[in-house]
Chains A and B, each alone.
Chain A
Amino acid sequence: EDKVVQSPLSLVVHEGDTVTLNCSYEVTNFRSLLWYKQEKKAPTFLFMLTSSGIEKKSGRLSSILDKKELFSILNITATQTGDSAIYLCAVTDPSHSWGKLQFGAGTQVVVTP
């Protein structure tokens, strides 16, 4: 059975700290890995990673994929209270042409002032 495991499940940091979130996966046919940020409501897209070793970056957020070891990390530097959210990782399985996403349980990040 396909699995996506995120760690830690939750963490609390102070503003200015750096956060590293982990996502490991076991899927039969891997195509890509997506990161979403979920604040109060809808998950919003952050990154899609398909190639190993290529970092995607957006402001203070960055992510990288290791297809050999089957994991991805999401880094947030100089955290702000607005980074408080649940971060979701999902992988795609191309055997489903309609773009099935398998989600992990998420990591809840709380940034305190």
Chain B
Amino acid sequence: NAGVTQTPKFRVLKTGQSMTLLCAQDMNHEYMYWYRQDPGMGLRLIHYSVGEGTTAKGEVPDGYNVSRLKKQNFLLGLESAAPSQTSVYFCASSITGTGTYEQYFGPGTRLTVT
């Protein structure tokens, strides 16, 4: 089991460029999440998905889009990158069912927008 994987690990973009971050999980989890982590701010939820074909906004969704075409994959897109989107991005997944809230995290993608 690879768990949760993310590609790429690092990326540098210029302002206005676009990119897609890929998250894949092999645990058959229904729920998947995208977070960003900035110094002193903990993890903030960008978008999440409760199943294949469904997505919803989290706390900080502006400037990002997501898609969940396959259960195991969750894509995060930046259409026009801005310096404020410089951050470390984490994908996570969790199993279905109430009372089970443990989320499993990927290794992160460090994105710099210049």
Residue numbers of A with Cβ under 8 A of B are 4, 9, 31-32, 34, 36, 41-45, 48, 88, 90, 92, 94, 97-101, 103-106
> Closest CB-CB distance, B106 to chain A, in whole Å?
6
Q: Is the CB of A48 within 8 A of B90?
A: no
Indicate the size class of the contact surface on chain B.
20 to 34
Please pick, from B31, B42, B90, B102, the residue contacting A104 in the complex, using a CB distance under 8 A.
Answer: B42
> Closest CB-CB distance, B21 to chain A, in whole Å?
14
Please name all residues of chain B whose beta carbon is closer than 8 Å to the beta carbon of A45 when the two chains form the complex.
Answer: 102-104
Q: Is the CB of B107 within 8 A of A48?
A: no
Q: Is the CB of A42 within 8 A of B106?
A: yes
User: How would residues 44 to 57 of chain B score, 1 for a CB under 8 Å from any chain A CB and 0 otherwise?
Assistant: 11001010000000
Please pick, from A41, A99, A106, the residue contacting B107 in the complex, using a CB distance under 8 A.
Answer: A41
> Closest CB-CB distance, A100 to chain B, in whole Å?
7
